[in-house]
Amino acid sequence: MSDGDVVVALDVGGTGMKCALVRPDGRTVHTERHPTGSDRGPAAVVDTILEVAEGLAGKACADGRTPVALGVAVPGVVDEGRGVAVWSANIGFRDVPLRDLAVARLGLPTALGHDVRVGGLAEARLGAGRGAGHVLFVAIGTGIAAAHVVDGSASVGAHGAAGEIGHILVRPDGPRCGCGRPGCLEAIASAAAVGRRYAELTGVPADAAEVAERAAAGEPAAVRIWQETVAALADGLATGQALFDVATIVLGGGLAQAGARLLDPLRAALHERMTFHREPRLVAAALGDEAGCLGAALLALDALGVPRTVEKQ
């Protein structure tokens, strides 16, 4: 790697794309945002991804840098080995060979990753899980998904679907999940579910941040929803800890922005649930919404075989 080398990184979400030029040491030298335009269908989204990536590579060259690779993160089920976006509910991808399409268009070595897995990769290597070795990154937003990262590599699973911690069954008689089954963790404790459950109980619309605030102010309905949320999350994380025995659990996504209002009671609830297994350190994510781009860049560098010696200080 030479001084002017950069990775073109894209984190493609249902509504927007975060894009960056990232140096091999994890430092970002340029960022851009673009709308995804998922309503135009998956083919148009693929075109936009390739166009934006090409534009970023051109920008790098214009600035006197050398684009050495492309990393793209997408939601849903992702086959990283084949570079295929297998399935995505919010973008409509069905078996899209994104990596090959990008290689054909840009001529750059390309890595395709899952948004939460690469976010976990970045948090484990450059963010809140740095130095921990074994990290479980849990993103709590519209849904709940996790990445299990060991020594800087995230487990992908046999079918590209590892880390679906949101579909751990925590309340058999609970609300029905988007996956069709009642009682999944994300049907109770995702940011979306917290707002929905509060509205059902009170008739007042509110988002998760407002519920957290009202709970802290002692409003009974909000206190009840928040306590149920913390209990369900603690059950899910305790299952995660029983499976993975990590040193650190990093919480990201919208709900984690509640900070101590979430982390303090959750830490206590998790502590109660530990018997013989060791209690993990529970911390908030540190990289914010940059994590996806940084992780996509790391994945691309890993695929190039760049040694992981130099990382963000």
- Judged by the rule CB under 5 A, the positions of this chain that interact with Zn ion are 167, 177, 179, 184
Are residues 21 and 9 in contact, defined by beta-carbon separation less than 8 angstroms? yes
Are residues 300 and 7 in contact, defined by beta-carbon separation less than 8 angstroms? yes
For the bound state, the minimum distance from the C-beta of residue 160 to Zn ion, rounded and expressed in Å, comes to 17
The nearer residue to Zn ion, 182 or 220, going by C-beta atoms, is: 182
For the bound state, the minimum distance from the C-beta of residue 170 to Zn ion, rounded and expressed in Å, comes to 10
Question: Per the structure block, which two tokens stand in for 239?
Answer: 């299952």
End-to-end CA distance of the chain: 18
For the bound state, the minimum distance from the C-beta of residue 8 to Zn ion, rounded and expressed in Å, comes to 34
The HSE-up count of residue 231 (CA atoms within 13 Å, CB side) is: 8
The nearer residue to Zn ion, 9 or 177, going by C-beta atoms, is: 177
For the bound state, the minimum distance from the C-beta of residue 90 to Zn ion, rounded and expressed in Å, comes to 16
What is the arrangement of strands in the sheet containing 281-284, beginning at the earlier edge strand?
Answer: 153-154, 144-150, 134-140, 248-252, 281-284
The nearer residue to Zn ion, 148 or 167, going by C-beta atoms, is: 167
For the bound state, the minimum distance from the C-beta of residue 179 to Zn ion, rounded and expressed in Å, comes to 3
The nearer residue to Zn ion, 117 or 167, going by C-beta atoms, is: 167
Are residues 56 and 69 in contact, defined by beta-carbon separation less than 8 angstroms? no
What values do phi and psi take at 62, rounded to 5?
-60, -30
The nearer residue to Zn ion, 180 or 305, going by C-beta atoms, is: 180
**Considering only CA atoms, which of 284, 297, 250, 209 is closest in space to residue 18?**
297
